[in-house]
Structure 1
Amino acid sequence: MDKTLVKFATFIAKSNQSKKIYFTNIIRNLSIPKDVLAEFPNLIDNMVEERKSQMKQVVKENLDPDLNISTAFIVREGQLSKKILKLASEKSADLILVGKKTSINGSGVITQRLARRASCSLLIVPENSVPKIKKILVPSDFSDYSKDAMEEAIEITEKYDGKSEIICQNVFSVPSGYHFTGKSYEEFSDIMLMHAKVNYKKFIRKIDTKGHDITPLYTRDEDDDPVIDIINKAQEIEANIIIIGAKGRTAATALFIGSLAERLIQTNNKVPLLVTRPKGKNAGIIEYILDI
């Protein structure tokens, strides 16, 4: 997982002309008796230095040596999500990059906390992912946070010389009471599809596409689970990344990233997932959160 993350860090840093990468390892809360620490006063310091040394070795083996970038290695003790959030806030990070070990159940809990509370965007990378941006899938319900995600996709495409393909997916469903209208299921499905196409045109007109073609894609949800439709479509079109916007756009809604994003973080273990949040959106409540 570490090798994959270092390679992604290299890939992102090159395209963004990043200034610095902070590699961090969090030691879970240590419960070492005082008398043991008194007998072995260098125990914690030695542990920290050992972990820094291990990180440096992994980075040395996997970070592109031609990448001209500053690096730092930080080891801290405490609760994983809180320490990462605090570090990101202290360093004014633009992006938090974390891995998702697909072989471990429930590994989405930490990433959900980070997605809700981070003051910047979060990229979640499943193990064995390959860093490339040829196809970008942007699930959209035509909301403001979907607009944030689409604008991020366009910006990424700009950084990759305009060679990335952007697909905007809208998952629509047929309401359960459709039969009261006198229409058949297929007839009402066509009505919902027509409205989705109209709403897409209104949505895309609000966005500066910078000359890039956006491909609209409409998926009918048959099992009341749009997340599965998104993941299946991402795999079908061989998307390299899924981009969604965090729902919380103000301090009052900062802890809510939206049920779709929550489920994607929890369920998706195949495709890298970028949860976008304009930098600093959660900054006003970060200190409060870290004290919880």
Structure 2
Amino acid sequence: MYQIKKLIVCLDQSELDITLVKFASFISKVNQTKKIYFTNVIRNLNIPKDVLEEFPHLIDNMVEERKMQMKEIVDKTFGEQENVEFSYVVKEGQLSKKILKLAHEKSADMILVGRKVNLPGTGVISQRLARRASCSLLIIPENSVPKMDKLLVPSDFSDYSKDAMEEAIMIVEKYGGNAEIVCQNVFTVPSGYHFTGKSYKEFTAIMLMHAEINFKKFIRKIDTKNIKITPVYTQDEDDDPVEDIISKAKEIKADSIIIGAKGRTAATALFIGSMAERLIQLNDHFPLLVTRPKGKNAGILDYILEI
């Protein structure tokens, strides 16, 4: 996996900005990040041409004001760190497109975006970024605290689950190696189990046994760096594994959930996986990291060309 050398932080002049700047500081300290782009996107202004002719510096002044407001929050919140360069970027237009274009141009390693719970706003931007970003996306609910003592990694033992696990291991290693990773596999008993002649209880035991075997095969392919990884197996009984994941995160008091994006190529541009989609929609309590190997852009070029 890669280090987070270039970070984009999406600010919107709400109270959530303070939380995002704190997370940016935490991430940059652990990863020795070199460059952080604090970004604000102004919706299309649609200022009449005659007004701009009368006040030719109106937009420039607005942009400078936004940059100064971002700088003020960063100066108060970020804390002292050496060798980190800040850049304040203000764009006009559609938020998701401008952020994705910036991430592509700057070859960003991660995008930080807020998840509003009580504050006004929606989570649509998070889903668009998760589908299209050419790097990992960290979604931070309001009032979250940057901490990495326990990470939950949902896994179906696929390649994109391997990406998520390797990312979690790298985070823990950089954080100091004392944190615990909980790897959760959610399994279901198929509806046709009775055709096998086995009882529901017996087939549940069979599914659990195979989950345990598959975890051992899965973890053997990964360099765990001697970090503690605890497997847990959850039987899904209501056809909603995401609820099981959020419930487990609450039970273990996870500091973050890490999941891999399925979409790695242009052919899978809009398919990050139903589990990731549902987690983005339903999770409003835990920081959620959607990992994607850098450069595996999910149709980003076609998307930004529409701008």
TM-score, normalised via structure 2 length:
0.92
Cα-to-partner distance string for 1:54-112 (whole Å, 9 max, x where unaligned): 11111111011245411010100000000000111111111100100112687221111
1:250 Cα deviation after fit: 2.8
RMSD: 1.4
The letter for the 2-side match of 1:55 is: M
Distance in structure 2 (CA, Å) of the matches to 1:140 and 1:18:
28
Q: Which stretch of the first structure deviates more once superposed, 77-86 or 39-48?
A: 39-48
Is the Cα contact below 8 Å between 1:14 and 1:67 reproduced in 2? no
Partner of 2:101: 86
User: What is the rounded CA distance, in whole Å, between the counterparts of 2:25 and 2:179 in structure 1?
Assistant: 18
1:272 counterpart (258, 280, 287): 287
Cα offset, 1:181, TM superposition: 2.4
The equivalent residue for 1:13 is 28
Structure 1 stretch 245-254 or stretch 201-210: which is displaced more?
A: 245-254
AA partner of residue 78 (structure 2): L
- Mapping of 1:22-171 within 5 angstroms? 22-103=37-118, 107-171=122-186
Partner amino acid for 1:108? G
State how far apart, in whole Å, the 1-side matches of 2:251 and 2:44 are: 42
Q: Which residue of the partner structure matches residue 246 of structure 2?
A: 231
Conserved? CA contact 2:116–2:123, under 8 Å = no
Q: Is the 8 A contact 2:29 2:81 kept in 1?
A: no
Residues 214-229 of structure 1: pairs in structure 2 closer than 5 A: 214-229=229-244
Deviation digits for residues 191-248 of structure 1 (CA, Å, limit 9, x no counterpart)? 1111111111111111111222210000010110000100110011011011111102
What CA distance in whole angstroms lies between the structure 2 residues aligned with 1:136 and 1:55?
30
Shift of 1:149: 0.4
State the one-letter code of the partner of 2:25: T
Could you tell which deviates more after superposition, 12-21 or 34-43?
Answer: 34-43
Distance in 1 separating the partners of 2:82 and 2:26: 10
Pairing 1:179–2:194 present: yes
Question: Which secondary structure does the structure 2 equivalent of 1:7 belong to?
Answer: helix
Measured at CA, do residues 229 and 106 of structure 1 come closer, stay the same or move farther in structure 2, by a change above 3 Å? farther
Give the secondary structure class of the aligned counterpart of 1:158: helix
- Whole-Å separation in 2 of the counterparts to 1:40 and 1:106: 31
Secondary structure of 1:99's counterpart equals: strand
SS at structure 2 position matched to 1:107: coil
Matches within 5 A, 1:237-248: 237-248=252-263
Partner of 2:302: 288
Identity %: 74
C-alpha distance in 1, partners of 2:82/2:110? 18
Equivalent residues of 1:5, 1:97 under 8 A apart = yes
Structure 1, unmatched stretches of 5+, are none
- The 1:105/1:143 distance shift into structure 2, 3 A limit, reads farther
- Amino acid aligned to 1:142: F
Letter in 2 for 1:190: A
Measure, in 1, the Cα distance between the counterparts of 2:173 and 2:142. 27
Residue 274 of structure 1 and its aligned partner are, at CA, apart by 0.4
- Find the residue that maps to 2:73 and give its secondary structure: helix
Q: Which amino acid aligns with 2:111?
A: I
Number of residue pairs matched by the alignment: 291
- 8 Å CA contact 1:10–1:67 kept in 2: the answer is no
**SS of 2:270's equivalent?**
coil
Structure 2 gap segments, 5+ residues each:
1-15
Give TM-score, length-normalised by structure 1.
0.96
